[in-house]
Amino acid sequence: MTPKYRYSTKSFLVCSSGVALLVTGLLLWGSGLDRARAQSRSSNSNTTGTGAPYAASNQWIEPGSGNTLPASANYEDESGKLGVLNTSGPVDSKNHPFFTPLGTNGRACVTCHQPADGMSISVRTIRARWSATKGRDPLFAAIDGSNCPALPQDEESSHSLLLNRGLFRVSLPWPPRAADGSQVKPDFRIEVIRDPTGCNNNPNYGLNSANPAVSVYRRPRVVANAKYFTSGSGLFSPKQLAMPMATDPETGKPVGMNMMSDARALTLKAQAIDAVMNHEQGKSAPTKEQLQKIEEFERQIFSAQIFDNAAGSLVGEDAPSELGPQHLANEQPGILGDNFGTPVFGNFDVWKKPGDKDLPAQDAARESIARGSELFFNRPFWIRDSQHINSIGLGNPVKRTCSTCHNARMTGQDLVSGWVDVGTANLPAAGDQLDLPLFKVTCDATAPPHAYLGRVIYTHDPGRALISGKCFDVGTIVMQQFRGLAARAPYFSNGSAQSLRELVDFYDRRYSIGFTDQEKQDLVNFLKTL
Amino acid sequence: MKPANKALALLSVALITASAEDNKPGGQEVKTFLSCPIVRDTKTVPCWLAENQGETYYLGIQADQAAAFQPPQLLHKVLVEGSVKTGERICGGVVLSPIKISVMPEIDYSCNLMLPAVDEYAVPFAERGPGPNNPAPRAAGPRPVQEEPKPPFPVREFTLYYDFDAERAGRMARVITEAMTYAKAAHAKQIQIQGYRAAVRLSDGTNLEEYPWIAQHRAEVMAETLRDLGIPASTISSAWKGEPDTGVGSDAYLKRRLTITVIPD
């Protein structure tokens, strides 16, 4: 049966310039289309199911290719289409520091933050690049695109964490260093229990090297919708109980401390410097002008799912209230969404009731999504033993909902300083994942312990503790935003959920929620629309 | 007297003493005890209980982080310091009000009791259920600007109170802010931090002492906090008192403290 979709004239015009601009974007961008990438995905028509045009999709953006990124573009993903909106208009990537290699290994920011992948990068894309380039793409640079630079780089197995989980190596100094470069005195010691990549015990890269470092493996974060994860308010972090929030050294204003898996970079500029010096192997930091341009680009780009193959347009008149990138561009950050007044992802009531009897499949999909939204927003369960959730005054356990923690309107992060331990990195909740390093953390006898794991913790990634040096931060990871999920699997900072179903299953197990299969599917269907 | 009898006699004296101390002049009996918390589910939000010497006490209900009562935690004992509200029971427990609780930092796996919801117990007074908040939210926009202190600037002392064994004063951000604001406005030449360690006399007559290092940790954490808030490190000095001050009855928590003395230029 050929699917039919409802749509409205608003449903596909995600930029004010409308069709002409989109077509222009298509023409401009078409020349940079990477054949291998195009072959790796199903061929793409230039219309949505509504018959509306959209810009060229399924494109790998080559660093330095010099093309123009359209003001608005839709990209096919596994469940529909992702919308990417540049609110400042088409972006000329020629010599643009986000798109131009600034270091020595041929990578640019865009290498790991691809518009088609929700400004992160999916394993599907990574594998396609491996196939297309036989592993020679700068994406697979030895420094962090392999499990360890000491491994033979032409072997696929040396890049297994990137190819299987989408993980890049992040090497962090030990003991930790503060933002000003000073050494932080940790209140714990760390041992390598298992080193499947060989990097943590390596004489050149490991804990006992001349520059002692801990190698952890993490997914690239989404570089879109930045106003939401950079905004901060208040003097003190609610997570750390009267710990002052960090401030932007340029403006003196509080920052969100919601950037990167461990919040080690406080501003977009600081993150860009970190990325250029480490991931791009830069000889020097970007110039002031380059940093400014990178930040300006990152602040104007918005990304979210815009079309669902089963439910149709996500941004039409009869669609839920806050989906699609334009709403992200319009709304204000810093608003609490754990309430009926300003719900996290808006109102899905319009899809709760059956619609056109001629479209039963679409109606069923929409009703499922609405049920999933309701489960996310309003289904209580017992949240327990989670550091920086239960330990900050809510009680252990606390009977609440997903939206209690994923409370930032529009993105579903925590409003500020959102590093928590839900069990993705620490054992036993994380499970022993044999391809990841395993560390034993032993905290000082006088250190405030992790509230639920005590002073001896086995972890795949100490998370924020590698920055703060605090035992109570071991295994805490900054929440990721929920937007563009369908375009950028796998999930969690260590890529341990290959699909949204695995993500839902993790929470179901972790908190003994008891979702039915239908409820899990409803949640997956809902998450795919974000 | 045999040692066993001597011990019993001492215990009796202690219990009598404790019993006397439990009764405030106003007639409200103060209960101070260490116990495993118990969470009882209800049709709305859970309520929290604790047992002591054969009696069940009601501590409070789940609410928001900003609420006056922050619930205890399973896997941790809780220090309860509360005044008995005669004749009233909630969720099957004798009401303690006012009440202070401290979550003990060390893990205790024996503290893991969850009771199911039953019709008999309800908390209709809960301002918020387990779901999203209702009605409309409090905007997370700019907060009210604190009034700038104006001269003259005398020496001022700010006091923070802590949960038992806690090195961070999670509920005292307002006082820290006041101290910071005053120090900046007064161009303080010196800020003296003094950390204290306490003990509390429990209702059974025994003393419960805080970690030996807690006064030092409180002082050091506060010094770091003030530096992070922009107070010049050169103006901050820290000291601590390692010997515990013992508190008794409803005011025992006042001993778990830290003072910030701001000495203006």
Question: Nearest by CB to B131, which of A241, A390, A401?
Answer: A401
Select from A239, A331, A339, A376 the residue whose CB has the most chain B CBs within 10 Å, as the one to mutate to test that interface. A339
Chain B residues touching residue A401 (CB < 8 angstroms): 130-132
Q: Residue A118 carries which DSSP code?
A: T
pLDDT at B24 over 70: no
pLDDT at A29 over 90: no
- Length in residues, chain A: 530
Looking at the complex, report in whole angstroms how far the Cα of residue A530 sits from the nearest Cα belonging to chain B.
20
Ranges A283-287, A339-343, B143-147: which has the least confidence: B143-147
pLDDT at A17 over 50: no
Q: Is the Cβ–Cβ distance between B173 and B240 less than 8 Å?
A: no
Q: Supply A148's token pair.
A: 């360890």
- What's the complex ipTM? 0.89
> How far is A137 from A10, CA to CA, in rounded Å?
39
* Cβ contact A339–B137 (<8 Å): yes
Inform me whether the C-beta atom of residue B116 falls under 8 Å from chain A C-beta atoms: no
Average pLDDT over residues A506-521: 98
> How far is A236 from B229, CA to CA, in rounded Å?
10
How do residues A400-452 score in pLDDT, each as one tens digit?
A: 999 999 999 999 999 878 899 999 999 999 999 999 999 999 999 999 999 99
Inform me whether the C-beta atom of residue A343 falls under 8 Å from chain B C-beta atoms: yes
* Cβ contact A242–B130 (<8 Å): no
Per-range mean pLDDT, top range of A278-287, A348-357, B63-72: A278-287
pLDDT at position B195 is 98
pLDDT at position A225 is 98
Inform me whether the C-beta atom of residue A394 falls under 8 Å from chain B C-beta atoms: yes
Average pLDDT over residues A515-527: 98
How do residues B134-160 score in pLDDT, each as one tens digit?
A: 865 555 555 566 678 999 999 999 999
Chain A residues touching residue B43 (CB < 8 angstroms): none
Inform me whether the C-beta atom of residue B70 falls under 8 Å from chain A C-beta atoms: yes
Chain B residues touching residue A337 (CB < 8 angstroms): 137
* Cβ contact B176–A236 (<8 Å): yes
pLDDT at position A239 is 74
Distance of CA A201 to the CA centre of its chain: 29
Q: Is the Cβ–Cβ distance between B177 and B146 less than 8 Å?
A: yes
Task: Name the CA radius of gyration of chain B, rounded.
Answer: 21
How do residues A94-153 score in pLDDT, each as one tens digit?
A: 999 999 999 999 999 999 999 999 999 999 999 999 999 999 999 999 999 999 999 999
Neighbours of A247 (CB within 10 A): 18
Strands in chain B per DSSP E: 30-35, 37-40, 47-52, 55-61, 78-90, 93-103, 113-115, 156-161, 190-201, 207-209, 236-247, 257-263
Inform me whether the C-beta atom of residue B107 falls under 8 Å from chain A C-beta atoms: yes
Looking at the complex, report in whole angstroms how far the Cα of residue B109 sits from the nearest Cα belonging to chain A.
10
Question: Nearest by CB to B130, which of A380, A448, A449?
Answer: A380
Q: Supply B78's token pair.
A: 């809780």
pLDDT at position A16 is 32
pLDDT at position B11 is 38
Looking at the complex, report in whole angstroms how far the Cα of residue A295 sits from the nearest Cα belonging to chain B.
23
How do residues B83-98 score in pLDDT, each as one tens digit?
A: 999 888 999 999 999 9
* Cβ contact A242–B74 (<8 Å): no
Chain B residues touching residue A233 (CB < 8 angstroms): 140-143
How do residues A345-357 score in pLDDT, each as one tens digit?
A: 999 999 998 777 7
Inform me whether the C-beta atom of residue A501 falls under 8 Å from chain B C-beta atoms: no
Looking at the complex, report in whole angstroms how far the Cα of residue B61 sits from the nearest Cα belonging to chain A.
10
> How far is A8 from A18, CA to CA, in rounded Å?
14
pLDDT at A64 over 90: yes
pLDDT at A47 over 50: no
* Cβ contact A391–B39 (<8 Å): no
Choice between B146 and A209, residue whose per-residue pLDDT is larger: A209
Q: Is the Cβ–Cβ distance between A402 and A510 less than 8 Å?
A: no
For chain B, the average pLDDT equals 89
Question: Nearest by CB to B143, which of A234, A377, A449?
Answer: A234
Share of chain A above pLDDT 90, in %: 81
pLDDT at position B136 is 58
> How far is A352 from A367, CA to CA, in rounded Å?
5
Chain B residues touching residue A511 (CB < 8 angstroms): none
pLDDT at position A416 is 79
Burial A164-198 (b: 16+ CB within 10 A, else e): ebbbbbbbbebebeeeeeeeeebbbebebebbbbb
Inform me whether the C-beta atom of residue B144 falls under 8 Å from chain A C-beta atoms: no
> How far is A407 from B125, CA to CA, in rounded Å?
25
Residue B112 CA: distances (Å) to CA of A344, B36, B78, B96, B107: 32, 8, 12, 22, 11
pLDDT at B241 over 90: yes
Question: Which residues contact residue A252 at a Cβ distance below 8 angstroms, ignoring those fewer than 6 apart?
Answer: none
Q: Which residue has the tokens 């116990």?
A: B35
Inform me whether the C-beta atom of residue A335 falls under 8 Å from chain B C-beta atoms: yes
> How far is A315 from A429, CA to CA, in rounded Å?
37
Question: Which residues contact residue A511 at a Cβ distance below 8 angstroms, ignoring those fewer than 6 apart?
Answer: A381, A382, A383, A384
For chain A, the average pLDDT equals 89
Average pLDDT over residues B176-205: 97
Question: Nearest by CB to A393, which of B65, B106, B133?
Answer: B65
Chain B residues touching residue A334 (CB < 8 angstroms): 140-141
Q: Supply B190's token pair.
A: 């010196």
Q: Could you write out the DSSP letters of every residue in A121-189?
A: --HHHHHHHHHHHTT-SGGG-HHHHSS-TTS-TTSGGGGHHHHHH--EEEEEESS-B-TTSPBP--SEE
pTM summary value = 0.89
Inform me whether the C-beta atom of residue B75 falls under 8 Å from chain A C-beta atoms: yes
Question: Which residues contact residue A341 at a Cβ distance below 8 angstroms, ignoring those fewer than 6 apart?
Answer: B134, B135, B136, B137
